[in-house]
Each structure stands twice: as structure tokens, then as C-alpha cells.
């Protein structure tokens, strides 16, 4: 566990969604001692306050409809979620899985392990966001490569040039306009689609 991660935990905005009991107060106080900015809400809110980084969510059976409603309204990306559970049964397990919780806090809540659970959950969340970002970047690259290949094919067919010559022409045009080559590829594809004759209908 890196010291940077532990240091960053102090800057987190944490929301505790828990009945207003001594156990809930204990959790809030302990998180504040860690250094987090903590707010406690109950009953379950319809949506999360803006800027919420971490949520400790008590899985109360009587509040299940409200919990399900909240989970459907989570932002994207959702904050780091930790589930508070008192016992295990299929119903509780299902809602925990639906919540996307990255750690479990067992009842009765004890100070030992809270910091570890929070740090591990946050670390997993950060790693997941990194993977999502890399996946989006890779997807954009693949789509860009596909558009580039299509634009080159259009130039090769219309001008009778080689693939390397078509790419050179696109690159020179991009440099002259001071725009990404992907933008040139898009304009070539759009122009080709515009000039394409409409399909014949019987």
C-alpha cells in the first residue's frame, strides 16, 4: 500500500449512508480521524451529492427499494463503493453485487480493518478507472486506424495511387491545414458518402 494512496485518502469526500445509530456515528468519527471529509445521510437519498468520492452503504433490508433506486442513479464513473453488511443471505449478496462494492465492512463495525478496506477499495477503483481510460484510448486508436484505412482506399480508387502515396497526400493535407490526419480521413469519407449515388429501388 503506497504512502501516496494513504495520503490521498485524507482528501476524499466520503458519504456514509447508514441509519443514525451509535454504530453509524462511530463509523463517521473514525473516518474523520483518518482525515476524510465525511457526511452522513439517512434515509437513503435519491441521488448522491456532487463530488462524492467514496460511499459506505448500509445494506438494510427495509431500505432495499431505496437502495436499488439510488444504484440506478449513480453517476459514471460511480464513486468507490463499500458495502456494510450484518449477515449473509442470497438477497444481501445480490444487492452487494449490484452495488459494485469493492470492499465489505462487516457488522458490528470495528476500527480494525476500516482503513485497510478503504485503501484497498480506493486502489481497486483507481486501477479500474485507469483500465477504462486505456480501453477507450485503444478503441479510439482502432477506430482511427479503420477510418484511415478507408480514406486511403478511397483515394487509391479515385486517383489510382498506391497506399503509401495516398497516406502521404493525406499527411501533407493535414500538415497544411494544421489538423490531425484523422480529420482529413473523416472529410474524405464524408465526401465519398455525399457523392455516392443513392441506391436504386425496384
Question: Which positions of the chain have pLDDT values less than 70?
Answer: 1-3, 5, 197-202
The pLDDT, as a whole number, for residue 161 is 87
Q: Tell me which residue of 136, 127, 117 sits closest to 27, measured CA to CA.
A: 117
pLDDT digits (tens, 9 = 90+) for 22-60: 999 999 999 999 889 999 999 999 999 999 999 999 999
Beta carbons of 182 and 144 less than 8 angstroms apart = yes
Domains detected in the chain: 3-111 (3.40.50.2300), 134-195 (1.10.10.10)
Angle, alpha carbons 60-77-6 (nearest 5°): 80
Q: Which three cell numbers stand for residue 181?
A: 490526419
**SS3 call for 11:** coil
User: pLDDT averaged over the chain?
Assistant: 90
Amino acid at each position: 500500500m503506497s504512502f501516496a494512496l494513504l495520503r490521498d485518502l485524507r482528501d476524499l469526500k466520503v458519504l456514509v449512508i447508514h441509519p443514525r445509530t451509535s454504530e453509524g456515528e462511530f463509523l463517521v468519527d473514525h473516518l474523520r480521524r483518518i482525515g476524510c471529509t465525511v457526511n452522513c445521510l439517512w434515509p437513503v437519498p435519491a441521488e448522491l451529492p456532487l463530488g462524492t468520492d467514496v460511499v459506505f452503504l448500509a445494506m438494510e433490508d427495509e431500505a432495499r427499494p431505496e437502495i436499488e433506486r439510488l444504484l440506478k442513479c449513480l453517476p459514471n464513473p460511480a464513486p468507490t463503493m463499500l458495502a456494510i453488511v450484518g449477515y449473509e443471505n442470497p438477497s444481501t449478496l445480490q444487492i452487494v453485487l449490484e452495488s459494485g462494492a469493492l470492499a465489505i465492512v462487516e457488522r458490528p463495525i470495528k476500527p480494525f480493518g476500516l482503513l485497510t478496506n478503504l485503501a484497498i477499495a480506493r486502489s481497486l477503483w483507481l486501477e479500474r478507472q485507469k483500465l477504462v481510460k486505456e480501453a477507450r484510448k485503444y478503441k479510439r486508436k482502432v477506430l482511427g486506424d479503420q477510418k484511415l484505412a478507408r480514406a486511403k482506399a478511397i483515394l487509391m480508387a479515385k486517383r489510382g495511387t498506391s497506399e503509401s502515396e495516398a497516406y502521404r497526400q493525406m499527411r501533407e493535407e493535414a500538415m497544411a491545414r494544421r489538423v490531425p490526419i484523422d480529420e482529413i480521413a473523416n472529410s474524405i469519407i464524408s465526401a465519398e458518402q455525399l457523392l455516392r449515388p443513392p441506391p436504386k429501388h425496384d
